[in-house]
Structure 1
Amino acid sequence: MHRRAFLGTALTAAVFVTALHGPAAAEDWKSKVDTIRFGILSSENEKDHTQRYSAFKDYLEKNLGVEIETYTASSYDGVIQALAADQIEFAFLGSSAYAAAWTETDGGVEPLVSRLQDDGSTGYYSVVAVRCDSPYKSVDDLQGKTLAFADPDSTSGYAVPYFNLLKQGYNPETYFGATPFSGSHETGVLGVVNGQFDAAATYITNDIAGIPQRMVEKGMIKAGEVCWIWTSPEITSGPLTARKNLPDDLKRTMQKLVMEVPQKDPEAFAQMTGNPKQVGWIEVDHDRYAWIVEMREEIRKIRRNRGS
């Protein structure tokens, strides 16, 4: 994979002393790392990213006592390449983007935490969204029509819908008239509303949280304007990811900080997640995402065999 230009996502952070590591260990990683850079995927526009994570940035600065900087790349691959090039230390990734980063770095990244919902679930769903007033009521109605995917490294916006639609007999390469990449979830949904696309792949967490619901809250689309006609099996929520070559005490402390943000700063937690059903985080490891790595490889083989 070629190294591509990107707008790096940076987050500068220092870590408070934990009982496990003690003051000496905390100071030890500070002597090696003076800036912690933090990547965020481009599921929405950069301005909204900045606003959503501003309180979290303040939370880290308050608890860590160092400057925090956040940036987002113009594509998912920008964040993945930044991790691979050691240009950022941490990133919030979707499952497929994590799998891409794991493959790109030959296992040089590790997941730290993932999302926990109030019903105990730890996943979300890919959906195919259409205008509610359109004639499209099922995937059968989309034959020969345009289905926009979000990004090649998006789990819910590409890998999962592509793979599952193919398994269900809807070969994306031949069944739809066109399958462009919109660049982001919000752009795809807006394209549906504006008539640029007949349908778009995006995600929901539940009936009240997801990309379409968030866009209604932000006034980008109207309530009742977008419906979904296809829903995937549950997808494992993506992880906060760290470069594996970082000091262990730094990784464990960042993991602890993120795990504690719901209790220590509920406002920052609510803003950064944008999901009233998310109540916290769970610790995760690579085994949780191994099937995503395998799914991405199978999709690559399918497309390569077809000359795509």
Structure 2
Amino acid sequence: MRFITATALAALLTTPALADGWKDDYQVLKFGILSGENEKDRLMRNEPLRAYLEEALGVEVEIFTAGNYDGVIQAIAANQIEIARLGSSSYAAAYTATDGGVVPTLTTLKKDGTTGYYSIVVSRCDSGITSLADAKGKVHAFADPDSTSGYAVPYFNMVTKEGFKPEDYFGTVTFGGSHEADVTGVVNGTFDTAATYQNNDADGVYQRMEDKGMIEEGVVCKIWESPEITSGPWTFRKNLPEALIEDVTVAIEGFPAADPEGFKLYSSFTEEDPNPDTGFKRVDTERYQWIVDMRAWIKAHRRSSS
């Protein structure tokens, strides 16, 4: 399915032509998206951006999906895709896997000017678990080993701030495979607690699942929240032409103005969200170095403790 709104087409007609020097070698661009939600919704949510980029750049644009985060990371490391919309931790994983061979250019900008979100731990509201202290000895699920909010940040904070190692503290530690799978597992009683994320108390994974009718409202409650995390970046292979990286980055920056309705779908906009996404902000490698360092700490900590 390909579509682009009249607003987007009008904006494209008034946008200066982008440089064509790289297009002979890159007639198809593939961008990867992570498995934070089911594949049908992922493709639906990113279709307006895909269609817009195809029109703006004048080349074919395809969406690449995988069953887990590592599939997208390995695809960009193996030069199978050019671009990926990554989380902070999956960016750090790609940075490490490619020996610094990826470049972050943009992250999400919110209405209040911030560029962050939060890792949270959730449980059923009727479980009697209202804190991490109540969860001791229970079944806890992380989302994916390469998830920032679903694994790296909560694991790091549990050890360094909360004072316990998850493998020793919980009765069982497992991976749900995705954020939606984590929340579903909590609702179904497979997991007592699970790690996921939210932007604020009105907008997050379990709130969106409520909006989509996937779970009933009021079944899932937050029991822990992390410090703010920098949102993940749009990431390019470093071995791509600089003009390609800049042209695609500029095109993505123009998406919210060119297709406001498409951007709302892409960003999961809801009227109830007091601080919705409004666009993008430029970032660089230095912005995510602390995430790279945190992943290295986790890897070393787990190795020394095994």
Question: Structures share a fold, TM > 0.5?
Answer: yes
Whole-Å Cα distance in 1 between the matches of residues 138 and 228 of structure 2?
Answer: 26
Whole-Å Cα distance in 2 between the matches of residues 264 and 43 of structure 1?
Answer: 26
Is 1:286 equivalent to 2:285 in the alignment?
yes
Question: In the alignment, which residue of structure 2 is the partner of 1:181?
Answer: 175
Is 1:52 equivalent to 2:45 in the alignment?
yes
**Alignment counterpart, residue 238 of structure 2, candidates 244, 248, 273:** 244
Question: Aligned to 2:280, what secondary structure does the other structure show?
Answer: strand
Whole-Å Cα distance in 2 between the matches of residues 65 and 192 of structure 1?
Answer: 45
Whole-Å Cα distance in 2 between the matches of residues 275 and 165 of structure 1?
Answer: 31
How far apart are 1:217 and its partner, in Å? 1.1
**Alignment counterpart, residue 79 of structure 2, candidates 77, 86, 90:** 86
Question: In the alignment, which residue of structure 2 is the partner of 1:229?
Answer: 223
Q: Which moved more, 1:288-297 or 1:221-230?
A: 221-230
How far apart are 1:36 and its partner, in Å? 0.6
Is 1:156 equivalent to 2:155 in the alignment?
no
AA at the equivalent of 1:305: S
CA contact under 8 A between 2:57 and 2:251: conserved in structure 1? no
Question: In the alignment, which residue of structure 1 is the partner of 2:5?
Answer: none
Whole-Å Cα distance in 1 between the matches of residues 203 and 247 of structure 2?
Answer: 29
CA contact under 8 A between 2:29 and 2:59: conserved in structure 1? no
CA contact under 8 A between 1:161 and 1:232: conserved in structure 2? yes
How far apart are 1:71 and its partner, in Å? 2.3
Question: Aligned to 1:78, what secondary structure does the other structure show?
Answer: helix
CA contact under 8 A between 1:16 and 1:253: conserved in structure 2? no
How far apart are 1:17 and its partner, in Å? 11
Is 1:40 equivalent to 2:33 in the alignment?
yes
Whole-Å Cα distance in 2 between the matches of residues 64 and 258 of structure 1?
Answer: 10
Question: Aligned to 1:173, what secondary structure does the other structure show?
Answer: helix
Question: Aligned to 2:119, what secondary structure does the other structure show?
Answer: strand
Whole-Å Cα distance in 2 between the matches of residues 84 and 30 of structure 1?
Answer: 21
Whole-Å Cα distance in 2 between the matches of residues 18 and 111 of structure 1?
Answer: 24
How far apart are 1:275 and its partner, in Å? 3.8
Whole-Å Cα distance in 2 between the matches of residues 242 and 213 of structure 1?
Answer: 31
Aligned pairs (5 A) from 1:90-105: 90-105=83-98
How far apart are 1:116 and its partner, in Å? 0.9
Q: Which moved more, 1:42-51 or 1:52-61?
A: 52-61
Alignment CA distance shift 1:91-1:16 (3 Å): farther
Question: In the alignment, which residue of structure 1 is the partner of 2:7?
Answer: none
CA contact under 8 A between 2:125 and 2:219: conserved in structure 1? yes
* Identical aligned residues as a percent: 55
Question: In the alignment, which residue of structure 2 is the partner of 1:72?
Answer: 65
CA contact under 8 A between 2:53 and 2:252: conserved in structure 1? no
Whole-Å Cα distance in 2 between the matches of residues 114 and 178 of structure 1?
Answer: 35
The higher relative CO (CA closer than 8 Å, separation ≥ 6) is in: 2
Question: In the alignment, which residue of structure 2 is the partner of 1:303?
Answer: 302
CA contact under 8 A between 2:139 and 2:192: conserved in structure 1? yes
Aligned residues: 289
Compute the TM-score of the two structures, normalised by the length of structure 2.
0.91
Question: In the alignment, which residue of structure 2 is the partner of 1:211?
Answer: 205
Whole-Å Cα distance in 2 between the matches of residues 296 and 135 of structure 1?
Answer: 32
Compute the TM-score of the two structures, normalised by the length of structure 1.
0.91
Is 1:267 equivalent to 2:261 in the alignment?
yes
Whole-Å Cα distance in 2 between the matches of residues 17 and 264 of structure 1?
Answer: 10
| Unmatched segments (≥5 aa) in structure 1 | 1-14
User: RMSD in angstroms over aligned alpha carbons?
Assistant: 1.6
**1:120-141 CA distance string (max 9 Å, x none):** 1110000001111110011000
AA at the equivalent of 1:39: G
How far apart are 1:64 and its partner, in Å? 2.6
| Unmatched segments (≥5 aa) in structure 2 | 1-11, 271-275
How far apart are 1:170 and its partner, in Å? 2.4
How far apart are 1:81 and its partner, in Å? 0.5
Whole-Å Cα distance in 2 between the matches of residues 55 and 34 of structure 1?
Answer: 20
CA contact under 8 A between 2:23 and 2:59: conserved in structure 1? no
CA contact under 8 A between 1:16 and 1:64: conserved in structure 2? no
Question: Aligned to 2:50, what secondary structure does the other structure show?
Answer: helix
Question: Aligned to 2:168, what secondary structure does the other structure show?
Answer: coil
CA contact under 8 A between 1:16 and 1:63: conserved in structure 2? no
Whole-Å Cα distance in 2 between the matches of residues 257 and 218 of structure 1?
Answer: 30
Q: Which moved more, 1:272-281 or 1:36-45?
A: 272-281
Question: Aligned to 2:151, what secondary structure does the other structure show?
Answer: helix
Aligned pairs (5 A) from 1:85-164: 85-164=78-157
